[in-house]
């Protein structure tokens, strides 16, 4: 199968008939083996019934029903894990993303790109409450991660399936998938896409989500840099605390020798002792984190590296007896 379209859905019953019809039209024109995965994120409207009816009428449509609302990230993660296509398209269900952009993005992915990220160049959202916070978040994410994209918040994206295989999503981390992909050497490109005003339902976004994104960004940064070497993180602060503690002790000794001030009752002596203890604890914490990381990778059978999909012509190692 070449293409999977993953759509997280939460209370979008009014938009669903139009969305499904649009996706079906695009897939019919593409004329390739494909599927549509509708992830029902605990909808309480008539959306689940509409999705089930569509699946009965079209064998390409599959529906995943959550027992309750787990959020957009969880819905996308479930869809990605059930997708069978070589390429996976993620898009919103509110009709602000346009399925007609899929063929162009798919052609770009076939050029060798692992992630084709949609860029809503002409957004149709409220500038103050949606567009401005999004631009600020895009700048912050690019500055922190080093991957500068114009529109991290656009769900419409084409992924090569192999890139998604090693990624588990939590919180609001679906918008950071390109960052994870970039960390393992994926080729990423942005492509301008259409964006429409919401015609059905109400937006599920608010400014509090921006705050949650910033917290998730801290987690992503830590995982990207210290995922396999947490001692490097704790070690920096441990060395700083130890050096500061020893410095306090040296200063206490200098004061004792030069001015005959008391040694053990000096505040610098006590403060230095606290810093040395904190430094030792940080070192021990880093070592425990190293043990935890190694236990995780070994117990899960995971490696700290990821290979590209093998080329059939080069996947077999050479025969040492023949030199070929």
DSSP for 221-272 reads HHHHHHSS-HHHHHHHHHHHHHHHHHHHHHHHHHHHHHH---STT-HHHHHH
Tell me what pLDDT residue 322 has: 43
Tell me what pLDDT residue 305 has: 65
Tell me what pLDDT residue 301 has: 72
Q: Answer whether CATH 3.90.550.10 is correct for domain 3-226.
A: yes
User: How far is 223 from 185, CA to CA, in rounded Å?
Assistant: 16
10-residue mean pLDDT series, the chain (324 residues)? 96 94 96 95 94 96 95 93 95 94 96 94 80 85 90 93 83 85 90 89 69 82 85 94 96 90 88 96 94 81 66 46 43
């Amino acid at each position: 199968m070449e293409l999977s379209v993953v759509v997280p859905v939460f209370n979008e019953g009014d938009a669903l008939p139009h969305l499904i019809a649009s996706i079906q039209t695009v897939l019919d024109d593409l004329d390739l083996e494909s599927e549509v995965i509708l992830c029902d994120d605990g909808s309480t409207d008539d959306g689940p019934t509409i999705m089930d009816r569509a699946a009965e009428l079209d064998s390409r449509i599959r529906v995943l029903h959550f027992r309750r609302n787990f959020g957009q990230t969880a819905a996308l993660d479930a869809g990605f894990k059930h997708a069978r296509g070589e390429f996976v398209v993620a898009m919103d269900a509110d009709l602000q993303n346009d399925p007609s952009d899929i063929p162009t993005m798919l052609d770009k992915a076939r050029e060798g790109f692992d992630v084709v990220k949609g860029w809503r160049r002409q957004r149709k959202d409220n500038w103050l409450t949606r567009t401005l916070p999004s631009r600020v978040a895009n700048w912050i994410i690019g500055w922190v991660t080093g991957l500068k994209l114009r529109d991290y918040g656009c769900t419409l994206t084409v992924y090569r399936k192999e890139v998604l295989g090693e990624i588990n999503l939590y919180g609001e981390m679906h918008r950071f998938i390109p960052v994870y992909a970039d960390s393992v050497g994926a080729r990423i490109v942005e492509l301008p896409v259409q964006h429409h005003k919401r015609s059905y339902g109400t937006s599920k976004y608010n400014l509090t989500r921006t705050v949650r994104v910033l917290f998730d960004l801290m987690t992503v940064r830590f995982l990207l840099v210290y995922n396999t070497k947490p001692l490097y993180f704790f070690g920096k602060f441990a060395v700083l605390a130890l050096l500061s503690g020893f410095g306090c002790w040296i200063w206490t000794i200098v004061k004792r020798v030069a001015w005959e001030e008391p040694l053990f009752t000096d505040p610098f002596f006590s403060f230095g002792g606290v810093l040395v203890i904190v430094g030792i604890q940080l070192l021990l914490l880093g070592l425990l984190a190293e043990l935890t990381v190694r236990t995780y990778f070994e117990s899960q059978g995971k490696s700290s590296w990821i290979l590209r999909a093998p080329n059939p012509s080069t996947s077999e190692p050479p025969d040492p007896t023949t030199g070929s």
